[in-house]
Amino acid sequence: MMDAMDAIFTRRSVRDFTSQPIPDELLDKVLQAGVAAPSGGNLQACRFVLVQSPERLAGLRALAPGIIGRPTAMIAICKDNRPPSNMGGVGDEHSAWIDVGTALENMLLGAHSQGLGACPIGSFHKQAVAEFLDLPEHVSVVLLLALGTPRTSPGAPGRRPLSEVVFRERWGGSGSG
């Protein structure tokens, strides 16, 4: 099993996949990782639609320009928009959005730690994808997650240095204490 910090620092957004199908047990682990993510007020507002059929994947790809390569599985990360009280939770709309982010990151790292490539997709026609997936009215799709066996993996895109984005004790504060 890959160390958590190794997974964080070696993960890349993989868009180029082989045609090799993903074993169900690996996909289940990715989904379990998403469900296990932190949830504000334990609202658990995320819903997931797994697509594996080649024909359905091709259809999804036509509605989602952000899917560049040919993933062998896609997970639509959706949000249940009903009031928290209707879901037996205490969170709010804000925490539901955060839940999507925590679930996504868990799934990205879960996929990478199992040797899978993954890429979050934000460019898609939301209404068309919702229709294609037969989502009920109270559920909206927030992100798509493309998954597959990596054929190529991009280099690290670079990040701002800590000195630029991290402050100590107060905004603008630097140094170790």
Residues that bind other proteins (CB under 8 A): 12-13, 15-16, 58-59, 61-65, 68-69, 123-125, 128, 152, 154-158
Task: Supply the minimum distance, in Å, between the C-beta of residue 163 and other proteins.
Answer: 20
The residue (of 64 and 73) whose beta carbon lies closer to other proteins is 64
Spatial contact of 24 and 130, defined as CB atoms under 8 Å apart? no
Least distance from other proteins to the Cβ atom of residue 152, Å:
6
* Between 56 and 168, CB nearer to other proteins: 56
Work out how close the CB of 71 gets to other proteins at its nearest, in angstroms, rounded to a whole number.
12
29/140 with CB nearer other proteins: 140
Helices (H), 48-171: 54-63, 93-113, 126-132, 162-165
Distance (Å) of CA 7 to CA 33, 54, 159: 14, 29, 16
Q: How far is the CB of 73 from other proteins (least distance, A)?
A: 18
Provide the token pair at 104.
């996504």
Pairing of strands 73-80, 139-148: antiparallel
